[in-house]
C-alpha cells in the first residue's frame, strides 16, 4: 500500500507544465518520476490521471508530443511545452500563489481575530 498522498486535483497540469519547462522533453513515465523527485518523493503520481491530463494539455495546445526512444530503447511519446503552455503555466502559477496566500490567512493565527 502506498502511503504517499496523490497530487491534488487541479495541480497536476501545473506540475506537468513546470516539469516540462525545466526538463525540456520527457515521456510520461519521466514526467511522473520528475514530479515525484521534485516533491522529495512525498507525492505519488497516479498514471491513471497523468495520461488523461497529458492528453488534455495537448488538446488545449499547451504541450506537443512526438514519438521517440526512451532510455531503455523502447518506443515512447515525448512531451514538450509550447509557447501557449508557457503562458498558461505563468498564469496558473500566479493564480496558485494568490490562492495559497489567501488560504494561508485562514491557517495563520492573527492577533485580534475573534
Q: Give me the tens of pLDDT residue by residue for the chain, a chain 114 residues long.
A: 567 777 776 789 999 999 999 999 999 999 999 999 999 999 889 889 999 999 999 999 999 999 999 889 999 999 999 999 999 999 999 999 999 999 999 998 775 455
- How many CB atoms within 10 Å of residue 97? 10
Note the pLDDT of residue 112. Answer: 47
Q: From CA 86, how far away is CA 58, in angstroms rounded?
A: 13
Which domains are seen in the chain, by residue range? 12-105 (1.10.10.10)
* Torsional class of 11: left (φ above 0), alpha (ψ -120 to 50), beta (otherwise): alpha
Q: Scanning the structure block, which residue is given the C-alpha cell 511522473?
A: 32
pLDDT of residue 4: 73
Q: Give the pLDDT of residue 2.
A: 62
Question: H or E segment at 80?
Answer: strand 75-81
For the entire predicted model, the pTM comes to 0.84
| Strand-pair partners of 68 | 76
Q: How many CB atoms lie within 10 A of CB 45?
A: 23
Task: Look at residue 26 in the predicted model and tell me its pLDDT.
Answer: 96
Amino acid at each position: 500500500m502506498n502511503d504517499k498522498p496523490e497530487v491534488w486535483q487541479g495541480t497536476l497540469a501545473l506540475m506537468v507544465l513546470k516539469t516540462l519547462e525545466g526538463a525540456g522533453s520527457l515521456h510520461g513515465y519521466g514526467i511522473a518520476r520528475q514530479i515525484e523527485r521534485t516533491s522529495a518523493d512525498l507525492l505519488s503520481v497516479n498514471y491513471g490521471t497523468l495520461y488523461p491530463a497529458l492528453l488534455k494539455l495537448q488538446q488545449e495546445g499547451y504541450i506537443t508530443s512526438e514519438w521517440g526512444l526512451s532510455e531503455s530503447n523502447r518506443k515512447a511519446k515525448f512531451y514538450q511545452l509550447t509557447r501557449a503552455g508557457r503562458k498558461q503555466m505563468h498564469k496558473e502559477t500566479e493564480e496558485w500563489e494568490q490562492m495559497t496566500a489567501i488560504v494561508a490567512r485562514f491557517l495563520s493565527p492573527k492577533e485580534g481575530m475573534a
